[in-house]
């Protein structure tokens, strides 16, 4: 396997873990590909520009189980919920916002 810079990024680790757990063909289908060729090429370092592929991996595979809703949510949406202003107009969304403040999945606050 080549040691390309993208192989050190978070999305690549998420992809490798998912493929190890569920198989390349299953993960390719979850990403919306009809076959596993593209995913295999990314894993082996023989894929061109990986920017769009990385975005798809993060959107579809990098999920957390939300303790408040009980659903798997994309980590990016989870972080956006955490960073948002409190939604004072809706009691359920406000409760969700408060739950994000106590959640183990919350992003680290940078100093």
What are the residue ranges of helices labelled H in 37-86?
37-44, 51-60, 75-83
> Which is higher by pLDDT, 54 or 111?
54
pTM, two decimals, is 0.71
Give residue 2's pLDDT. 55
Least confident residue range of 13-22, 83-92, 100-109:
100-109
Is pLDDT at 91 greater than 80 in this prediction? yes
> What is the pLDDT, as a whole number, of residue 18?
94
Asked if 31 and 11 touch (Cβ cutoff 8 Å), the reply is no
Q: 110 pLDDT exceeds 80?
A: no
Query: Hey, is 50 helix, strand or coil?
Result: coil
Query: Integer distance in angstroms from the first to the last C-alpha of the chain?
Result: 37
- Bin 70: left if φ > 0, else alpha if -120 < ψ < 50, else beta: left
Q: How far apart, in whole angstroms, are the C-alpha atoms of residue 33 and residue 69?
A: 29
Kindly tell me the sign of the dihedral angle through the C-alpha atoms of 9, 15, 20, 24. Answer: negative
Q: Does position 1 have pLDDT exceeding 90, yes or no?
A: no
How far apart CA 108 and CA 97 sit, in angstroms, is: 16
pLDDT in tens, 36-81: 899 999 999 888 889 999 999 998 999 888 888 898 888 888 888 7
């Amino acid at each position: 396997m080549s040691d390309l810079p993208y192989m050190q990024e978070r999305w690549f680790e998420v992809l490798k873990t998912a493929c190890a757990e569920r198989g390349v063909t299953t993960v390719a289908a979850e990403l919306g590909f009809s076959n596993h060729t593209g995913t295999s090429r990314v894993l082996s370092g023989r894929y061109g520009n990986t920017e769009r592929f990385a975005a798809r991996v993060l959107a579809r595979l990098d999920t957390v189980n939300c303790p408040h809703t009980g659903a798997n949510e994309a980590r990016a949406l989870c972080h956006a919920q955490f960073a948002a202003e409190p939604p004072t107009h809706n009691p359920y969304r406000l409760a969700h916002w408060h739950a994000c403040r106590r959640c183990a999945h919350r992003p680290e606050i940078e100093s």
